[in-house]
Structure 1
Amino acid sequence: MIRILSDQLINQIAAGEVVERPAAVVKELVENALDAGARHIEVELERGGVGLIRIRDDGSGIEPDQLTLALQRHATSKIASFEDLEQVGSLGFRGEALPSILSVSRLRLVSRVAGAEHAWAVEGEGQLASGEPIPAAHPLGTQIEVRDLFFNTPARRKFLKTEATEYRQAHQAMQRIALSRFDVGFALKHNQRRIWEFAPAASASGREARLAEICGREFVDHAVPLDEQRLGMRLHGWVGLPSFARSQADLQFFYVNGRLVRDRLPSAALRRAFADVMHSTHHPAYVLYLELDPASVDVNVHPQKTEVRFRDGGSVHDMLFAAVHQLLRRVRPQDGATHDVALPSPLTAAPAVRSASSTPAWAARPQQQGFRYGAAASGAWSTQLAESRAEFGAGAGRATAAVGVAESASDSVRETPESDEFPLGHALAQLQGVYVLAQNRHGLVLVDAHAAHERILYERLKGELDRGGIAAQSLLVPQRLQLQEDEIEILEARREELARYGIVFDRSGPETVLLRAVPPLLTEAAVIELLRELAGDDQRRESASHFGELLEAQQRILADVACKAAIKANRKLSLAEMESLLRDMERTEMAGQCNHGRPTWIQVGMGELDRLFLRGR
């Protein structure tokens, strides 16, 4: 038999979409407070929010004759027509949250508007109690108490997690909202204990303090600000440096017109922007705000409004990618605010005291990155070919060298003061055939020669590719390569693409190809190894989404070529060659990381070195 459901049952069904757990209640009610113009919002929880959720705000309040209407389904003050729905500027607009919450809890709503003698209150258990609003004591604004969540739907209550888990979810919901509105003060209490309180942050230092409290001081220290306007949109916020890449996507906050969203389009654009400087299994960290015309984004596509649909998704994607990609390319070694790197003390394990003026802010921290990246790379050249191909002359006409220097450059250690012209300073020596040691005016610089050279070659190869392709060097004797038939078909499908990288081959049999030309950077053996990897890894790479965003084929191949051609461990460098490598790094975009996201250099400031030797004590 078909029957019309009761209003209470309809609301309880709607609550299943809107009110999944206490955190969802907190989110909906705090967003209502923000829509009411609140400048201070206090949230109090008991038993993770299952026992009590109390939200107090100093917003505009609700008129007495509107209180009962506010608890009715699809009653809202935020939209009145389809045109309003097409350009929603508020966080809430459907009029579903309050009646849905009421249907599964014991709720009390108290509100007072400006000019009123006192506040008015309504309440209900599962449904609105009969009768008119009653007088109550309350300052200007609104207070909503939600008790015994899911008391009348025991099946739903069984699916709730532990108190600690539900509290953590509610706490994170509050943090996400606090990041969206720095101009609003927020306070959070749990089980009668104040957890945190944020005052409204009008200054840059205040915003940074809130950002550090929520995202961690480490994020603030490794993030750069972004503010770009183009195509009628504005993107601003903070982007974590590639050296701060995460193993999980746990530090990604993206807001559209003040609303936190988790949408595939911005995620893909931002991940693509990091593709050149981050390993495909890592995740970038960012707190970003996109502002655009409300009419150009549809927020009415998800029950909890966490997904959106852009009218011109291509423009949004291009804007996000270009803004972040260009920001990352602008980050190069240069003088800036300074702080010390913490190294282990020779006498104690106590935390190091950081100096305020010893190490540039762009310097990565050893405890974050470690010291032995890139020490052992596959596809090493033979000693003779490495010596002959890795020419450090400027006139070679190809991207084979770290950089060109005059043969007459002095190999003696420099004794002149370090000038500001060279942020990475001047080379001193090579350590264990892996690291270049240099000194600048801040202290000691350590460079991973392989990782740094890899980035330099990668950027040069990209430039050659943009100018029409990488020159191929024909082999006097073609090299034969045995592969499985399906692997050869994979390479055949990419023949034209590989030719742009200077790799030319022909199929000479069902399971054989002849390698006829290679890029000047690589030996025949290295190219054969690269072809085997491309043929064997293609299916795996195409099936692995890495959270929906694969590295582009161009980036993968160029990264592989650069890695195999770069300086290998135990390659002895002259002082002139090391000096030339430093200068090339200073001229190269994204020189702070190799193509896999590893750091290429770190700075150890004089303050930290003094501490290690107990100077000044």
Structure 2
Amino acid sequence: MPVIRRLPENLVNRIAAGEVVERPAAALKELVENAIDAGSTRIDIALKLGGLDGIEVTDDGCGMTPAEMALALERHATSKLPDEAIEQVVTLGFRGEALPSIASVSRMTLESRPRGAEGWRRVVDHGAVAEEGPAALPPGTRVRVEQVFAKVPARRKFLRTSRSEYAACHDVVRRLAMARPDVGFTLSNDGRRIFQVAPGEDLSTRVSRLVARELGDNSVSVDILRGPADAPIRLTGIAGLPTYNRGVADHQYLFVNGRPVKDRLLTGAVRGAYSDMLTRDRHAVLALFLDVPASEVDVNVHPAKTEVRFRDPAMVRGIIVSGLRNALSSGDKRSAQAPDPKAMGNWVSEINTPPKQPDSLQDNRSIFAGMGWQGRVDAPTPPIWRDTESAIFAENGFAPQAPAEEAIEQPGDATTFPMGVARGQIALTYIVAEAEGGLVIVDQHAAHERLTLERLRAAGAEDAMARSQALLMPDVVELDEADCDRIEEAADKLATLGLSVERFGPDAMLVRAVPAALKGADPQKLLRDIADDIAQSGDTLLLGERLDHVLATMACHGSVRAGRRLSVAEMNALLREMERTPRSGQCNHGRPTWVKLSMDDVEKLFGRK
């Protein structure tokens, strides 16, 4: 029979280090969080070889005395829990294992100096104290970590390249810097400064500087307060317009009580909020900060504290979905602000050498082919201009093609309406309008598709779609018992969406009716997908998303198609409705419905600037 024995202290520390310090970025996260909890206003981070050869974190926080430094390097010692109310913790770190765990797998130099006292230094080499003594440094703390996993080769060989480890460290510091715009951060790698942000920046400026500078011009602010007055829940941050999106979800930054988290509930709520504005292969860019009373969230469910558990997850999800949709409804009439540089590069400036006077039709063909013209040159039409050069164009099929309309008084000038006044139509697809400060180009089908969808919603089409279509014979769907339990718990909510289900034994569900809009769907596949969605996100989003997809499809088929000629009055009516309709800046698939070409850009094309 195996003998039970107490593990030695150094092995215990290495086991704890395996939970906290799986790579340099994890050690860096703990050190920066300690610096923030110490009340620092400036934190400097220096990496060597992406953190593989060294990490140094310097702050101007409260500092520690020599006795406090010795105690901080012991396991389960912390200053962040004044009593036993662990559920009321408000600091970033509190487990009391970070410093001794890091010191057990590296050579750590800890230097600290409280204000009004002398500095002290303590060096720990892979768990053993190597030296200590006085140190000269300004008030605050400096921690230097070197030789990470040097004496743990089994762990060292699983580290990635310096480039990958640096990317992980960069992401850690960037997220913590977003969470605390009141603190200044400086990050450098191998002596090269990566970024520097000053303390006291507003949230939007800090996020835009760390994510992408153009995010500030292509986002809306989020600020919503919910819940009882004595324990409110607040959601703040900035959310990118649906037209400003990415192919991966790595640019979604989520925070709970100032703590960066990667939580499936929150990411699922973000996906639900953007469900009818982005295709499934595109992802929003945003930074959301959720402030929840400490009693309503458990932050101690993961050793690295990157996951949280909410007491009322449905309410949290509802706040995020409604907050994002309300913000986008007020701000997403805008589209992506800048025209594509590649598209702008396709503009051709005037030809410096004028073409020679053509002597024959064959010369006409060669001249226009040299100019990149792909039009018809061999079907002459009667001349419509008097001068010689115009006659050449008219005789060879280049007479302008445009509808003739009776002149009517315009409904206003270019400064009266945000979307401007329609001036024409290009390729029977794009509306060109003159607005204050530039030209607006509108994709008529994409714009009308969004307007139709919003009209359907306003008319209660979603409620109509949720009506049930009873099945002639109830369908029995066999599932795992756990999936049956999940669907049974959500049966009332599914019924409001038109799906009637009931339990049929321990591992089967009986489907009596499906939403009328999904009457052709396979009940078995539908229930399996819904069960998977509940297991992943904790709620029944999938059915609602499917109904949204059907509604969007109806809007697409009922919209003005590309290739339809519109009158000037119809163009202006479309522009006016876009100005009144929420989310009119993008179609139902996430593409922009309009772009604006500023007058500065136009004048640059003609060499005026």
The TM-score with structure 1 as length reference comes to: 0.74
The answer to whether residue 150 in structure 2 is matched with residue 155 in structure 1 is: no
Report the alpha carbon displacement of residue 545 of structure 1 after superposing the two structures with TM. Answer: 6.6
Q: Distance in 2 between matches of 1:542 and 1:419?
A: 50
Pair 1:468–1:255, CA change in 2 (3 A)? closer
3-state DSSP of counterpart to 1:166: helix
Pair 1:599–1:192, CA change in 2 (3 A)? closer
Pair 1:497–1:320, CA change in 2 (3 A)? closer
Q: Distance in 2 between matches of 1:122 and 1:194?
A: 28
Q: Distance in 2 between matches of 1:580 and 1:79?
A: 63
Aligned to 1:576: 569
Pair 1:411–1:299, CA change in 2 (3 A)? farther
Aligned to 2:436: 441
Report the alpha carbon displacement of residue 187 of structure 1 after superposing the two structures with TM. Answer: 1.4
**Which residue among 47, 50, 54 is the counterpart of 2:49?**
47
What do residues 523-563 of structure 1 show as CA deviations (whole Å, max 9, x unaligned)? xxxx9xx9879999969976997996646232011111111
Aligned to 2:175: 176
Aligned to 2:509: none
Aligned to 1:426: 421
Aligned to 1:561: 554
For structure 2, the residue ranges without an aligned partner over 5 or more in a row are 350-404, 468-474, 477-493, 499-515
Contact 1:248–1:282 (CA<8 Å) still a contact in 2? yes
Contact 1:113–1:119 (CA<8 Å) still a contact in 2? yes
Contact 2:219–2:238 (CA<8 Å) still a contact in 1? yes
Q: Distance in 2 between matches of 1:196 and 1:248?
A: 23
Report the alpha carbon displacement of residue 99 of structure 1 after superposing the two structures with TM. Answer: 0.8
Contact 2:218–2:336 (CA<8 Å) still a contact in 1? no
3-state DSSP of counterpart to 2:329: helix
Report the alpha carbon displacement of residue 240 of structure 1 after superposing the two structures with TM. Answer: 0.3
Q: Distance in 2 between matches of 1:73 and 1:273?
A: 43
What do residues 301-334 of structure 1 show as CA deviations (whole Å, max 9, x unaligned)? 0111000011222221111111111111112548
3-state DSSP of counterpart to 1:227: strand
Aligned to 2:284: 284
Aligned to 2:8: 6
Pair 1:95–1:499, CA change in 2 (3 A)? closer
3-state DSSP of counterpart to 1:111: strand
What do residues 125-153 of structure 1 show as CA deviations (whole Å, max 9, x unaligned)? 1213278x522222211111111000111
Amino acid corresponding to residue 286 of structure 1 in structure 2: L
Q: Distance in 2 between matches of 1:341 and 1:468?
A: 39
Aligned to 1:216: 212
Aligned to 1:63: 65
Q: Distance in 1 between matches of 2:32 and 2:496?
A: 55
What does 1:247-286 align with in structure 2 at a 5 Å threshold? Answer: 247-286=247-286
Pair 1:47–1:425, CA change in 2 (3 A)? closer
Report the alpha carbon displacement of residue 209 of structure 1 after superposing the two structures with TM. Answer: 4.8
Q: Distance in 2 between matches of 1:269 and 1:179?
A: 21
Contact 1:236–1:290 (CA<8 Å) still a contact in 2? yes
Q: Distance in 2 between matches of 1:448 and 1:14?
A: 58
Pair 1:315–1:162, CA change in 2 (3 A)? same
Q: Distance in 2 between matches of 1:347 and 1:123?
A: 66
Q: Distance in 1 between matches of 2:285 and 2:336?
A: 21
Pair 1:60–1:455, CA change in 2 (3 A)? same
Amino acid corresponding to residue 295 of structure 2 in structure 1: A
Report the alpha carbon displacement of residue 75 of structure 1 after superposing the two structures with TM. Answer: 0.6
Higher mean Cα deviation, 139-148 or 539-548?
539-548
Q: Distance in 1 between matches of 2:433 and 2:123?
A: 71
What do residues 398-424 of structure 1 show as CA deviations (whole Å, max 9, x unaligned)? xxxxxxxxxxxx853766752554221
Report the alpha carbon displacement of residue 583 of structure 1 after superposing the two structures with TM. Answer: 1.9
Q: Distance in 1 between matches of 2:497 and 2:134?
A: 81
Q: Distance in 2 between matches of 1:570 and 1:165?
A: 49
The answer to whether residue 185 in structure 2 is matched with residue 192 in structure 1 is: no
**Which residue among 32, 35, 46 is the counterpart of 1:33?**
35
Contact 1:414–1:426 (CA<8 Å) still a contact in 2? no
Aligned to 2:328: 328
What do residues 371-408 of structure 1 show as CA deviations (whole Å, max 9, x unaligned)? xxxxxxxxxxxxxxxxxxxxxxxxxxxxxxxxxxxxxx
Report the alpha carbon displacement of residue 602 of structure 1 after superposing the two structures with TM. Answer: 1.4
Q: Distance in 1 between matches of 2:18 and 2:408?
A: 72
For structure 1, the residue ranges without an aligned partner over 5 or more in a row are 349-409, 473-484, 487-495, 501-517, 519-526
Amino acid corresponding to residue 23 of structure 2 in structure 1: R
Q: Distance in 1 between matches of 2:455 and 2:287?
A: 31
What does 1:372-383 align with in structure 2 at a 5 Å threshold? Answer: none
Aligned to 2:294: 294
Aligned to 2:110: 109
What does 1:266-415 align with in structure 2 at a 5 Å threshold? Answer: 266-331=266-331, 333=333, 343-344=344-345, 346=347, 412=407
Aligned to 2:138: 139
Report the alpha carbon displacement of residue 339 of structure 1 after superposing the two structures with TM. Answer: 7.3
Amino acid corresponding to residue 429 of structure 2 in structure 1: V
Contact 1:345–1:612 (CA<8 Å) still a contact in 2? no
What do residues 51-91 of structure 1 show as CA deviations (whole Å, max 9, x unaligned)? 111111111011221211101111101114332x1111000
Contact 2:424–2:432 (CA<8 Å) still a contact in 1? yes
**Which residue among 14, 23, 26 is the counterpart of 1:24?**
26
Aligned to 2:224: 228
Pair 1:455–1:130, CA change in 2 (3 A)? closer
3-state DSSP of counterpart to 1:145: strand
Pair 1:430–1:143, CA change in 2 (3 A)? same
Aligned to 2:391: none
Q: Distance in 2 between matches of 1:499 and 1:31?
A: 44
Count of aligned residue pairs for this structure pair = 502
Q: Distance in 1 between matches of 2:450 and 2:253?
A: 29
Contact 2:446–2:593 (CA<8 Å) still a contact in 1? yes
What do residues 323-364 of structure 1 show as CA deviations (whole Å, max 9, x unaligned)? 111111112548x9987875227468xxxxxxxxxxxxxxxx
Amino acid corresponding to residue 188 of structure 1 in structure 2: L
Aligned to 1:371: none
Pair 1:75–1:300, CA change in 2 (3 A)? same
Pair 1:545–1:435, CA change in 2 (3 A)? farther
Contact 1:340–1:608 (CA<8 Å) still a contact in 2? no
Amino acid corresponding to residue 429 of structure 1 in structure 2: G
Contact 2:254–2:288 (CA<8 Å) still a contact in 1? yes
Amino acid corresponding to residue 185 of structure 1 in structure 2: G
Aligned to 2:450: 455
Q: Distance in 2 between matches of 1:560 and 1:541?
A: 20
3-state DSSP of counterpart to 1:168: helix
Pair 1:468–1:613, CA change in 2 (3 A)? same
Pair 1:596–1:106, CA change in 2 (3 A)? same
Pair 1:450–1:144, CA change in 2 (3 A)? same
Contact 1:461–1:470 (CA<8 Å) still a contact in 2? no
Q: Distance in 2 between matches of 1:324 and 1:3?
A: 55
Greater gyration radius: 2
**Which residue among 581, 589, 592 is the counterpart of 2:585?**
592
Aligned to 2:397: none
Pair 1:570–1:538, CA change in 2 (3 A)? farther
Amino acid corresponding to residue 585 of structure 2 in structure 1: G
Pair 1:245–1:12, CA change in 2 (3 A)? same
Contact 2:412–2:421 (CA<8 Å) still a contact in 1? no
What does 1:112-131 align with in structure 2 at a 5 Å threshold? Answer: 112-116=113-117, 118-129=118-129
The answer to whether residue 234 in structure 2 is matched with residue 238 in structure 1 is: no
What do residues 550-597 of structure 1 show as CA deviations (whole Å, max 9, x unaligned)? 462320111111111212222222222222222222222211111111
Contact 1:269–1:321 (CA<8 Å) still a contact in 2? yes
Pair 1:270–1:346, CA change in 2 (3 A)? closer
Pair 1:338–1:542, CA change in 2 (3 A)? closer
Contact 2:333–2:583 (CA<8 Å) still a contact in 1? no
Question: Identity, % of aligned pairs?
Answer: 42
